[in-house]
Every structure is written in structure tokens, then in C-alpha cells.
Amino acid sequence: MKKYIIIPVFLIVQFLSAFAQEQQIKLETIAPGVIKMTMGKPDQFSPYQFCAEQPRIEEMAGLSSKELPFDLKSVRIIKNNRGIQVSLPLTSDEQLYGFGMQIGSFEQRGLKKKPIVNDAPVFVNNNPLANIGYTHAPQPFYVSTRGYGVLINTSRFVTFLCGTNEEKQDLNTGDKNQNKLKFSTDQLYQNQPQETWNMWIDIPNTEGVEILFFQGEDIKECVQRYNLFSGGGAMPPLWGLGIKYRVKGDYTQDKVMKMASYFRDNNIPCDVLGLEPGWHTKAYSCSYVWSDKFPKPQEMIDNLNKENFRLNLWEHAYVNPAAPFFNEMKPYSGNFLVWRGLVPDFVNPKARQIFADYHDKELIGKGIASFKLDECDAGNMMDATSTWGFPEMSQFPSGIDGEQMRQLFGYLYTKTLFEAYKKRNQRTWMDYRASYLFSSSLPAVIYSDNYGHNEYISQVSTSSFGGILWSPELRDAASDADMVRRLQTALLSSQVVINAWYLEHVPWYQINTEKNNKNMQSESYPKLENIVRQLFQQRMALIPYLYSAFADYHFKGIPPFRALIMDYPNDEKVRSISNQYMVGQNLMATPATADSTTRKVYFPEGDWYDLYSEKQYQGGKSYKIEFPMDQLPLFAKAGSIIPLAEPLNYIANDAVFNITCKVFGNKPSSFALWEDDGTSFDFEKGNFNQINLSVEGGKGTVKKDGKYDGKRYVVNEWNFVK
């Protein structure tokens, strides 16, 4: 825990259990609305100590002070030879969410979850719901509809039984359903959780535990508290909200420049170009040195920058003997290699420094805007043939073992590079493939090799409970419709990525990989490209709105893309909806897949408008809707002001947005555009403006407040939709 939070212990309670050793349980309020319960000697490598930013205490104090809905005395902690077990009460009407970015399951009550970092979810019998919780960004943290969050501050592998198992002491012998004979194994083994069963948490191999309880009126506020406790949500550079395109892994300098020209010549928005492994002299493991495919890298960087492209470089953290800092890193790395490369002990500040210094001097200092941090999640734990990554039994000089490092590695790696950028007062927006607790303030977005479109959509919702940003990137597609639908989803996320790492041409030139690489243009090419351009432009029009949503993420802890349950905590119908989500304050996204021509959309209370067609829908009802290919599936709340920009092709540092305010329905709430220099951390010193948009007397008004002296937005037009 941060040392400066000196809030006195206000309660010491002793618990006894038939099996437990007698142990002191200590309670402490460590930040407004965050209670820490400690027993025994907690994990030496508990995650919060590594949090990249300080908690935003003041903003946390501004949230409601609603108490936890249960008595902390009802929490049982057992300590024995196995480790620690914790039990918490659940009530009958309670639903649980969280455990980080989950792939498959959304409502977690009645499930067994093991939030462990893994490069792939494990779908038993191909059933995503059955996924135990292995993902790129898992967390031992859940939130409840009753308004509280529970977090186990450990890097050990934890199991949560979310009301799945009955205790002997609760045995009620009056059960009536016991003697029905069953004739299929599905019937025999179906899960029938009862409402009286507790949450049970298993933390093996530890001598103590630290549990954090997050208070809140509802899930949204608990999540806000968690995000603020983690330093507040990350603020992207403005260009980070544009489009990123990753070129083929063997592209040369010339080909990269040609791809850049393609975007500009064809008036297709693009902000970032990403290079894949081929830029290294050695990759798998990495040398971090320009290969001969890039004879004049500085020239390329400069020319791209001139055209307002930012350059992103792929890497992973496994250090090849050809890396210039290999020998320096050797003593600060684990005892196992990965792809014959060193595994830096990022717990050790010295390892972080060696890694960051090299990157700072050779890459960031020379104009590299961001990195893609691959394979920091390690191979599939459940696949006997997947053995890349360091084993859980690895040992690192700092004393951390491979199990703990598996949970923390992606986080620490990303933090290492984030700190290098921050030292330069330069914002970045990275791709990373593994995260864990307290990562809200990391300027990085999770991506995945998994590719189920339905799961990609629901991952936006599941990520939001744990301060994780998720990038449902476009790679290959089974059909033109599949490509367009996936692209729409990608465009409605925290980072838009077209990841064409194995394609010679853009995917909309030809979706078939083999044909694409044989330069065989598809018949749909010009038509598809037009749709792509249009969709890209719709994203670019949203950037001012999204930037405000990220300001809310940073200052209030509100996830910019989030599950409906956060905004409609009292609507029972949204509890199970994971394929629609809120975008910023007033928009709801409802991505469609190529599976059917229409999809069901549920509208929570209040009226709603299609952002583009302006068609109106009634709240509290479901509709079957067919979404056009060339428009994003977005709905605006009645009573809202949505600022839309004239789409730019890229966000230059001095970009100015011409804004049209769309006003939906009557009595619109005001909306605050947020502006700053878009690239530095000066906003942390108050160097930003809020531009208040409101309707007064039927007329739009604009009021500016703040001390940033630039001008980012010009409001040209007000468009009233009734």
C-alpha cells in the first residue's frame, strides 16, 4: 500500500472458526471508500505496490459514502496448511460481475472462476460460458449489484466459488428434488446453485491475505472507486483515438512508406502504422535493433511523422543474445529462457531501468510513438504442447516465482515502457496482451489472438468492470459482411486496430489471405473500400466525444466503454446483456455480427435515437433491428447533446475539430468537451479546458472554462433532433 495513506485502524475483530487457527484480522480504511482487511502475512509480491500511479484520493472522497451492504464480521477467513480460504455472504437477488476481462461468461454468480493470465481461454466442450476465467487480463476482483467490490491483493492463483458449493453447516435436509432419476450426464451434473450458498475464495500457498472492499452506491461507483484507487483511467494522446494499421511482418521500409501513401492518397483516415517482428534483426526472441529491411529507419520515422503518422513497433520482452543490453540484463533475469531469450525480472527496478533506458535512447527518443507488447501472457496452461513462456516454477533474482510473475508480467512490462514515456512528458497508447489488477492508469489496450466475434463484443463489457481497455481488432474475415461487422466493433472500442500482419494488402482489397498475398484484388474492392472509409470517418467524427469520455475515465473513474448494468443498475433486464454497451456519457453501441442480418437490441429506460438515421426507439423494450453496413450501430439517449466532428484523416498535434452538436429530445443535459495539448501530461497540472455545451432557451451555448491556452474545437452548428 502507498505509505502516505495513514488512516488509523478503526476496528480490530477476531474471528474464530472450527478449523482456523486463531488469527487477528485487521481492518483499515486506506482511501475513501476502500477498506483493507488483513490477516497473517500477505503475499510479498502483492500487486498494489506496483501500481503505476497514486490513488486519486480527492475524487474518491467526492463519491458517495454508502457503507458496505454487509457486516464485515460475516467475512470468515481460515488459515491452514493449504493457505487461506475466505468466505463472504451472498444474498438471493445478487448478481456478480468482474474477474477482469472475461471471455464467455458475463454474470458470474453460480460459476467457479480462476482468474489466471493465459494466452487463450479454455472452452470446455466449446462452451464459452464454461470458461474458468483464464484470459489476457484476469483479476481476482469482482463487483456486486448490491453495491460493493471485493479484491484479493495477491499475485498467487486464486479460485472463486461464486456461490457454487454448499457447506455442511448449512445442510437443510428438507430438499425435495433428490430422487428424480436422470438419464443423461448433462442432467446429472448440471449446476444448481442455491441462493444461500456463500462466496468462497481459495488462496493456496500463502501465509496471509489482504482483501480490499470497495464501497459504492452501485456497480458503477464501485468500479469508479477502483479505477481512481488505481490512479484514475489512462488518458490517451488524441492521436491514440484514431485508426491504427499494422503492416505485414516482412514489410520493408519502402513498403511501409507505400502503405502510408495509400491511406493519404485515398483519403482513408489513419493515425498509426504498426511494424511487426520483421523490424528486428532477431525476433522470437527480440534484438530491438533495426533489421536490414529498414536501412534508414530515422528517415522513415521522420517522413512518416511529416505525414502525421505515428509509428508503433512490435516487440516482446524476451531478450535475444543479439540485443545490445543482453549482457547487462542477464543477472536481472529469470532462470528459464523463453524462445532462447532472457526473461527480465521487471520486479527489480534495475531490470526496468535497463529495459527502459535502451528503449528511451534508441527508440522513443528517435520518434517511436508507441509499442505493441506481445506474448507477455505466456502459453496456454492447459495445453500440453504449449510450452512457450516461463514456467510457474521459474525463479527470479527479486525472489518472485513464475506463478506470481505470470500474473504480473504484462502489467510490469507495460509499466516499464509507460514510465519511459512519462519521464519525457509524452503520452503514448500501447497494445499489450496481458494485464492484471490496478492497470486502469496504464495507457495500453489489450488485444488477443482469439477471434470469436461474439466474444470480442462482450469483452468490451466484461473488461469495463476492472479498468481494462480492450481492442477487438480486425484481422481476417470469413466474408465481406464479417469484415465489415468486425470493423464496426473495432471502431467502437478504446483502440481501433486493423492488424494485417500476414497480409500484403489491406484486408478490404481482398479478405482471402492467400489471394491477398498473391495480389489478387477482390471483386468487392472499391465498394468495400468506400464502406471502410465511411466507417473510419464516423469514428473520426466521434473523437471529441470519446476524448471527453476518457477525461471522465481519468478524473471520475468512469470506463469510457462499459457494461449497461453500470448505467442502469435498477433495470433487471440489462443484467444479462453483454453484447450492448455504453460509449461515453450518452451513446449505446450495439454491434452486429455477420451471423444474421438483424439483431435484437434492448433499450433501457428513456427514449433512444439512432445516431445517424435518427429513428426513435422506446425505452424498456426490445427491437429487432437491421443495421446498415456503412453506419456504426450507435444510439443516443433522449435528452443528450452529442458533439460530432468533421472527420479528419489524422490527428496532427495542432488538430482542430469542427463540431456539429446533435441534440436529441427535449431538455438535454449539458455536455463537457475536454481539451488540452493532446500529447503531454500537463493536464495533470490543471492545464486543460472544459467546454460546456448546453441548450438554453432552445439555443445551443458554448462556455469555456480552464487554463489551457490552445483551441481544439470550433462549434459550427447545432442540429436538433426531436
Judged by CB under 8 A, the residue of 6, 8, 384, 626 near a second copy is 384
Amino acid present at 297: P
Residues 19-78 that bind a second copy (CB under 8 A): 19, 44, 78
Which CB atom, from 383 or from 654, has the smaller least distance to a second copy? 383
Instruction: Report the length, in residues, of the chain.
Output: 722
Judged by CB under 8 A, the residue of 58, 67, 302, 383 near a second copy is 383
Residues 191-210 that bind a second copy (CB under 8 A): 191, 193, 200, 202, 204-205
9 three-state secondary structure: coil
Judged by CB under 8 A, the residue of 36, 282, 310, 433 near a second copy is 282
- Please report how close the Cβ of residue 179 comes to a second copy at its closest, in angstroms: 6
- Please report how close the Cβ of residue 606 comes to a second copy at its closest, in angstroms: 34
169 three-state secondary structure: helix
- Is residue 362 close enough to count as binding a second copy by CB under 8 A? no
- Please report how close the Cβ of residue 580 comes to a second copy at its closest, in angstroms: 23
Which CB atom, from 118 or from 464, has the smaller least distance to a second copy? 118
Nearest 5°: phi and psi at 585?
A: -75, -40
- Please report how close the Cβ of residue 296 comes to a second copy at its closest, in angstroms: 20
C-alpha 582/C-alpha 593 separation (Å) is 18
Residues 525-564 that bind a second copy (CB under 8 A): none
Judged by CB under 8 A, the residue of 41, 258, 340, 703 near a second copy is 340
Residues 261-280 that bind a second copy (CB under 8 A): 277-278
DSSP 528-593: HHHHHHHHHHHHHHHHHHHHHHHHHHHHH---SEEEHHHH-TT-GGGGG--S-EEETTTEEE----
Which CB atom, from 120 or from 611, has the smaller least distance to a second copy? 120
C-alpha 102/C-alpha 106 separation (Å) is 7
Judged by CB under 8 A, the residue of 31, 111, 300, 535 near a second copy is 111
Matching residue, cell 484520493: 57
C-alpha 350/C-alpha 329 separation (Å) is 9
Nearest 5°: phi and psi at 52?
A: -70, -25
CA distance readout (Å), 533 to 624, 631, 658: 27, 11, 19
- Is residue 476 close enough to count as binding a second copy by CB under 8 A? no
**Which stretch in 5-13, 183-191, 254-262, 463-471 sits in contact with a second copy by CB under 8 A?**
183-191
- Please report how close the Cβ of residue 564 comes to a second copy at its closest, in angstroms: 22
- Is residue 376 close enough to count as binding a second copy by CB under 8 A? no
Q: Are 515 and 522 in contact (CB under 8 A)?
A: yes
- Is residue 92 close enough to count as binding a second copy by CB under 8 A? no
Judged by CB under 8 A, the residue of 227, 230, 252, 320 near a second copy is 320
- Please report how close the Cβ of residue 155 comes to a second copy at its closest, in angstroms: 12
Residues 637-696 that bind a second copy (CB under 8 A): none
Matching residue, cell 433428490: 178
- C-alpha cell recorded at residue 333: 533475469
- Please report how close the Cβ of residue 68 comes to a second copy at its closest, in angstroms: 24
Residues 387-426 that bind a second copy (CB under 8 A): 387-388, 390-393, 395, 399, 401, 403
Query: How crowded is residue 97: how many other Cβ atoms within 10 Å of its Cβ?
Result: 28
Amino acid present at 575: R
Which CB atom, from 332 or from 650, has the smaller least distance to a second copy? 332
Judged by CB under 8 A, the residue of 58, 67, 167, 254 near a second copy is 167
Which CB atom, from 20 or from 625, has the smaller least distance to a second copy? 20
Q: Which residues contact 109 (CB under 8 A, 6 or more apart)?
A: 90, 94, 95, 96, 162, 163, 193
Judged by CB under 8 A, the residue of 144, 154, 164, 538 near a second copy is 164
- Please report how close the Cβ of residue 69 comes to a second copy at its closest, in angstroms: 25
Q: Are 214 and 225 in contact (CB under 8 A)?
A: yes
Q: Which residues contact 122 (CB under 8 A, 6 or more apart)?
A: 131, 132, 134, 380, 382
Which CB atom, from 59 or from 202, has the smaller least distance to a second copy? 202
Amino acid present at 560: P
- Is residue 325 close enough to count as binding a second copy by CB under 8 A? no
Judged by CB under 8 A, the residue of 342, 589, 641, 693 near a second copy is 342
C-alpha 444/C-alpha 467 separation (Å) is 11
C-alpha 36/C-alpha 11 separation (Å) is 11
Matching residue, cell 475536454: 674
C-alpha 513/C-alpha 633 separation (Å) is 28
Judged by CB under 8 A, the residue of 188, 626, 685, 699 near a second copy is 188
- Please report how close the Cβ of residue 173 comes to a second copy at its closest, in angstroms: 4
CA distance readout (Å), 431 to 149, 272, 288, 342, 413: 27, 12, 17, 21, 12
- Is residue 176 close enough to count as binding a second copy by CB under 8 A? no
**Which stretch in 33-41, 59-67, 109-117, 629-637 sits in contact with a second copy by CB under 8 A?**
109-117
Answer whether the bond into residue 285 is a cis peptide, omega within 30°: yes
Which CB atom, from 8 or from 174, has the smaller least distance to a second copy? 174
- Is residue 95 close enough to count as binding a second copy by CB under 8 A? no
**Which stretch in 7-15, 65-73, 173-181, 578-586 sits in contact with a second copy by CB under 8 A?**
173-181
- Please report how close the Cβ of residue 650 comes to a second copy at its closest, in angstroms: 28
**Which stretch in 174-182, 364-372, 551-559, 666-674 sits in contact with a second copy by CB under 8 A?**
174-182
Which CB atom, from 127 or from 519, has the smaller least distance to a second copy? 127
Which CB atom, from 205 or from 616, has the smaller least distance to a second copy? 205
Which CB atom, from 163 or from 665, has the smaller least distance to a second copy? 163
Which CB atom, from 10 or from 183, has the smaller least distance to a second copy? 183
- Is residue 578 close enough to count as binding a second copy by CB under 8 A? no
Question: Quick one: which of 152, 155, 108 has its CA closest to 129?
Answer: 108
3-class DSSP string for 256-298: HHHHHHHHHHCCCCCCEEEECHHHECCCCCECCCECCCCCCHH
**Which stretch in 116-124, 252-260, 348-356, 614-622 sits in contact with a second copy by CB under 8 A?**
116-124
- Please report how close the Cβ of residue 86 comes to a second copy at its closest, in angstroms: 9
DSSP 580-628: -EEETTTEEE----TT-SEEEEEE-SS-EEETTT--EE-TTEEEEEEPP
- Please report how close the Cβ of residue 95 comes to a second copy at its closest, in angstroms: 15
- Is residue 135 close enough to count as binding a second copy by CB under 8 A? no
- Is residue 14 close enough to count as binding a second copy by CB under 8 A? no
- Please report how close the Cβ of residue 555 comes to a second copy at its closest, in angstroms: 35
Residues 207-246 that bind a second copy (CB under 8 A): none
CA distance readout (Å), 597 to 341, 528, 612, 676: 48, 18, 19, 42
Residues 298-317 that bind a second copy (CB under 8 A): none
Judged by CB under 8 A, the residue of 94, 107, 217, 250 near a second copy is 250
C-alpha 700/C-alpha 34 separation (Å) is 41
